[in-house]
Amino acid sequence: MSDKYIARSKAVAARVLGGEMIIMSAVDSKLFSLSDVATVIWEAADGRTPLSEIVAKRVCAEFDVPADVAYQDAEVLVEELATRGILSISNQPVADAEPATEAL
């Protein structure tokens, strides 16, 4: 199974406020608030780090969740974020993606 690479969309604005990640789409001005886990994945979505590595090194390290369950949930999450245009998913590393906001 090939891994997935996720990159934050450049057509969004994002800020942390009160410990919560808020994202606004520049396409349709819709607003989103991310959960703690979603925020960790979003921040690590640099287009170069495989999703499996993000889950293993960030999600499982910060949250008490089995790796297989975490990966399945992460897949669902990134699909949903991609559907809303605030994240892109690729089977290959994305060259011009923005770097992660926190080091892995």
Partner 1 sequence: MAASVSPSRFFREEPAERCGATVEIGGIPILLQTGDEDFRNLIEQRYAGFVNSSAEPVCQLAIHLQQPMKRPPDDVQVSRSGSVWRIERGDFCAEFDARSRSGWVRQSANPYSLDAVLRIMHSLVLAEEGGFLVHAASGVRNDRAFVFAGVSGAGKTTISRLAPPDATLLTDEISYIRRSGSSYHAYGTPFAGELARVGTNLKARLAALYFLEKGPDNRVVPVSGPHAAHALIRNILFFAHDPDLVKRVFDAAIEFVSRVPVARFVFAPDERAWELIR
Whole-angstrom distance, CA of residue 53 vs CA of residue 75: 13
| Residue listed under structure tokens 């999450």 | 77
In the bound state with partner 1, the residue whose beta carbon lies nearer, of 9 and 49, is 9
Please say whether the beta carbons of 42 and 87 come within 8 A. yes
67 binds partner 1 (CB under 8 A): no
- Smallest gap from Cβ 56 to partner 1, in A, equals 29
Query: Contact region for partner 1 (CB under 8 A) — 7-15, 50-58, 62-70, 85-93?
Result: 7-15
Bridging pattern class, strands 46-50 and 31-34: unpaired
Q: Residues in the site for partner 1, rule: CB under 8 A? A: 10-11, 13, 15, 17-18, 20, 22, 24-29, 31, 33
